[in-house]
Chains A and B, each alone.
Chain A
């Protein structure tokens, strides 16, 4: 079940990458998204639930959101510095 949910989560985040990578979206939005995922992971670590599929799903999501941040850094902020 969690495996299927992980697939759906991957699909949704991939599908929404364009939205998040849009430079008109404030940095605060993506930072807060990443912060929420990190907070949840931290809480699961405190409760010793790091070997669960849910933790794995969150870790993958965290990677994807970091990728989005990196895309934004190259696409939006580099352009700003040059301009």
Chain B
């Protein structure tokens, strides 16, 4: 490997490390920002999507393993979300041919903005209120349908829903980082069937994502209170909605 190749992979490594750390602190995957960033840096879109999905899985699996061993990840609580998302995402992808994608995306932008503002301005006591399995199946099913339809990660949609329903922000983040690998790895396998994979790049960014998942999770667990996690998630949602509005209005930066 020559100097320019080292620099090339080094830049991707640092970018992935920084963004995976930030997003792991909020319990969601970083693919949503990494895919457009990689594309802007010249990576083919489908390759960027495939690598982004794998990165999502790598950083969230790391965080989930840590959380499991700390006793804070309740696999039983997260299972209804996993099952319903796995069932609903392919249905959403199938439905996408009958629904105008732009309309769904504008509804999603409104949802993300309202959620972010409620997370910033509401001072509601965050105690688990609706923790029945049926509501988790309903949330997972609805999120799976929408994320399958428009191709966005499920984590950023489930997170505000769970928090607005009264779930503690950190507990929601622990559960969601367990759900994401299931929804992302299926998508990665699909892309792998038709994308020419750059395996060195995949290896480099995966190491960065695992490190980012570990660092972000430790910061969240020991240095942030649930209130601070809520605010961090709100900021991530605002960034995400800004990115979607720019895409919908065809604004390129």
Which residues of chain A from 30 to 47 have any CB-CB distance to chain B below 8 Å in the complex? Answer: 32-33, 36-37, 40, 43
Q: Please give, as numbers and ranges, the residues of chain B lying within 8 Å of A20 by CB-CB distance.
A: 222
Q: Please give, as numbers and ranges, the residues of chain A lying within 8 Å of B225 by CB-CB distance.
A: 26, 28-29, 32
Q: Is B72 a contact of A33 with CB atoms below 8 Å?
A: yes
Instruction: Tell me whether chain B's interface is mostly helix, strand or loop, or mixed.
Output: helix
Q: Is A36 a contact of B72 with CB atoms below 8 Å?
A: yes
Q: Is A12 a contact of B222 with CB atoms below 8 Å?
A: no
Max count, chain A CB within 10 A of own CB: residue among B170, B218, B221, B226: B221
Interface size on B, residues (CB 8 A): 17
List the A residue with the shortest CB-CB distance to B168: A32
Q: Please give, as numbers and ranges, the residues of chain A lying within 8 Å of B69 by CB-CB distance.
A: 5, 8-9, 12-13
Q: Please give, as numbers and ranges, the residues of chain B lying within 8 Å of A32 by CB-CB distance.
A: 168, 170, 225-226
Contact of B122 with A by CB under 8 A: no
Q: Is A33 a contact of B74 with CB atoms below 8 Å?
A: no
Given contacts A19-B222, A20-B222, A28-B225, contact A12 B66 (CB under 8 A): yes
Contact of B223 with A by CB under 8 A: yes
For the complex, what is the distance from the CA of A20 to the CA of B218, rounded to whole Å?
A: 10
For the complex, what is the distance from the CA of A42 to the CA of B171, rounded to whole Å?
A: 16
Q: Please give, as numbers and ranges, the residues of chain B lying within 8 Å of A61 by CB-CB distance.
A: 70-71
Q: Which of A13, A16, A19, A40 contacts B74 (CB 8 A)?
A: A40
Q: Please give, as numbers and ranges, the residues of chain B lying within 8 Å of A40 by CB-CB distance.
A: 71, 74
For the complex, what is the distance from the CA of A7 to the CA of B170, rounded to whole Å?
A: 25
For the complex, what is the distance from the CA of A32 to the CA of B218, rounded to whole Å?
A: 15
For the complex, what is the distance from the CA of A37 to the CA of B221, rounded to whole Å?
A: 14
For the complex, what is the distance from the CA of A19 to the CA of B71, rounded to whole Å?
A: 17
List the B residue with the shortest CB-CB distance to A30: B222
Contact of A58 with B by CB under 8 A: yes
Q: Is B70 a contact of A12 with CB atoms below 8 Å?
A: yes
Q: Please give, as numbers and ranges, the residues of chain B lying within 8 Å of A58 by CB-CB distance.
A: 71
Q: Is A9 a contact of B222 with CB atoms below 8 Å?
A: no
Q: Which of A13, A25, A37 contacts B223 (CB 8 A)?
A: A25
Contact of B11 with A by CB under 8 A: no
Contact of B99 with A by CB under 8 A: no
Contact of B224 with A by CB under 8 A: yes
Contact of A67 with B by CB under 8 A: no
Q: Please give, as numbers and ranges, the residues of chain A lying within 8 Å of B74 by CB-CB distance.
A: 40, 43
Q: Mark B106-126, 1 if CB is under 8 A from A, else 0.
A: 000000000000000000000
Query: Which A-B residue pairs are the 6 nearest by beta carbons?
Result: A9-B69, A61-B71, A37-B71, A12-B69, A36-B72, A28-B225
Chain B interface residues toward A at CB < 8 A: 66, 68-72, 74, 168, 170-171, 218, 221-226
- 14 A-B contacts, Cβ less than 8 Å apart? A5-B69, A9-B71, A12-B69, A16-B218, A19-B218, A20-B222, A25-B222, A28-B225, A32-B168, A32-B226, A33-B221, A36-B71, A36-B171, A61-B71
